[in-house]
Chain A
Amino acid sequence: MDKMTPPERFQAVLMGEKPDRVPVVPFILGFCTKIVGMPLGDFYADGNKSFEAQFMSMRLYGYEQTPMYGYASCGPWEFGGKVGFPYGEGHSAPYVIEHPVNELVDIDKLEVPDSDKPVGGFVEAQKLCDRCVEMGMPGIFQGGSVFTAAAVVAETTKFLKWMKTEPKSAHALLDKVSQMFINQVEYFVNRYGADKCVVFDGGPVEANTVISPQKFEEFAFPYMMKVHKKIREFDIPVTLMHPCADQNLNIPYYIKMRESLNWKGIYAWIFGPETPLKTQIEKFGTHDIIGGNVDPPSIQTRTYQEVVQLCKENIEQGIENPRGFILCPGCEFPPLAEPIKPMAFIDAARQFGVYK
């Protein structure tokens, strides 16, 4: 049986101590609207509702994930474009209606929001974080990825081509997007204090199914460095990293970032199922917390028993990570999975994740 409460368990891992068992952070976002009977659109359109749904789900299941706010198409709204919320049939997350950048000249016109107030999605993030911090939980908000945000601030295929045809403009856009993130992070740090903040950084467009590691080095890495340098200066203790999908060829740059910034905080890594836990432990395990990477589609398409088995395999590979392990899926928990599926994670952690 559990010997610690969820906050105690999570705190233990953060402090580098052994908890009673592996904590579970199921990366639940849209999924929890089903638990409370809320339209999925509300979850992203209103930070308060997002908080309530996540808080209820967290209490119901007793997992260690605390509420957070973010989505992959972050960026356009903050720069004056338009995003749609997932109210429509089949929708699963916010989507871009109007890219602020459609032509090269639009890049010059972009105004970088400053750090005195939150903008776009950060307004909703602040509502959620206010409630979290008030209750003693961290405020978790988005601080990237710069590359994915730039790729949706601009019309995506155009941005991808500009890296080759108009590299200067691509850099100018990335620079503005990185400054937007820095300013918004600064706003949250000023509001709550750095020790209450957790930055979430990650995105899918830098996956190697889309760009080469050379392009990552040239266009993603410098701006990720720029933001993280600031995170370090602010002294934010924990940064959640989610290199989404297959980013195996980008791993050397993530290592380089940690090394060249002489990182003193903790990174918690949630790579996709494409990156073996063994590799992650080898590359980051002595300094950082490793999150699991249970295959997200399988959570929806397979049975409870099969998901427990997948979690068991994940736990066995990760539990001995020197700096700690938490059980996670390799990306967002599928919003359409059955309500029993988060239980599969918790049951697996209780059965196979106990520290002797």
Chain B
Amino acid sequence: MKILGVSMVSKEEILEGLAKAVIDGDEVKSEELAKKSLEIGIDPYESLMNGCNKGMAKVSDLYELKEMFVPEILLSADAMYAAIDILKPHLKVDASAKKPAKVVIGVAQGDIHDIGKNLVKMMLEVAGFIMIDVGKDVPVDTFVKKTIEEDADIVAISALMTTSMMYMEPVIKKLKENFVKAKVVVGGAPINNDFANKIGADGYGKDAVEAVKVSKKLVGV
């Protein structure tokens, strides 16, 4: 069956195929299907949301269930980025739509654990945020400077150690001192809701999926 020139069977097949390629971490396949999706006229936004994102959501679930682990997720991310690279130039820019929110993300001072930060960055990117990655072991002032420079809406700070989590509060204080309105989201293994509240953060996420939820809430998406 064909509706508006798009073959329905193959559309579903392609979207499902894309999701599967992301789950399997199959970069070649996801690239191929992204190209195919454009060829047969599937709206790239739909491929992104119902293909790639759907696959990535499943990946998060499987990580939670300890059925997927970091190496597999990293390959899923590669597969997803490969598709995004192809789809992105074809996304229709809706002039009336709100401009996407910008997030400055980095790992707190003194901390080089960046695997979690990279996963959070990727999930936020998939969710449509513009990501500015300031890396790991990031000094307090760099977070503040970059947020002002980029006029970011959100600052996302990751810390995996009891030593480095102490550098989250100074970022929040300095942002306030400089009258920066950006919201601050924190996360990482030693962080919890209580700690986030105590230091005056606007949001906390226990994993990458929650990172997306709180960030969306904070910018009103």
Q: Which residues of A contact B (CB under 8 A)?
A: 86, 88-92, 95-96, 156-157, 160-161, 163-165, 208-212, 215, 249, 296-297, 300-301, 334-336
Contacts and interface: CB of A to CB of B under 8 A. Distances in A.
Instruction: For chain B, give the interface size range.
Output: 20 to 34
13 contacts: A89-B139, A90-B108, A91-B110, A92-B110, A160-B70, A164-B71, A164-B75, A165-B75, A210-B115, A212-B66, A296-B162, A297-B190, A334-B163
Contacts of A208: 66, 69
Contacts, number: 69
A204 to B, nearest CB: 9
Contacts of A96: 112
A340 B184 CA distance: 34
A300 B162 CA distance: 8
A161 B69 contact: no
B166 interface: yes
B161 interface: yes
A306 to B, nearest CB: 15
Contacts of B115: 156-157, 210
Nearest to A96: B112
A177 B188 CA distance: 30
A164 B109 contact: no
Interface string B7-21: 000000000000000
Interface of B: 25, 66, 69-72, 74-75, 78, 108-112, 115, 118, 137, 139, 161-164, 166-167, 189-190
Contact of B163 (A164, A165, A336): A336
Contacts of B110: 86, 88-92
Contacts of B74: 157, 160-161
Contact of A157 (B109, B118, B163): B118
A300 B78 CA distance: 38
Nearest to B113: A204
Nearest to B78: A161
A98 to B, nearest CB: 13
The 5 A-B pairs with the shortest beta carbon distances in the complex, nearest first, are A90-B110, A90-B109, A160-B71, A212-B69, A297-B162
Nearest to B73: A160
B166 A336 contact: yes
Name which of B78, B111, B163 has the most chain A CB atoms within 10 A of its CB. B163
Given A89-B139, A156-B115, A165-B75, A210 B70 contact: yes
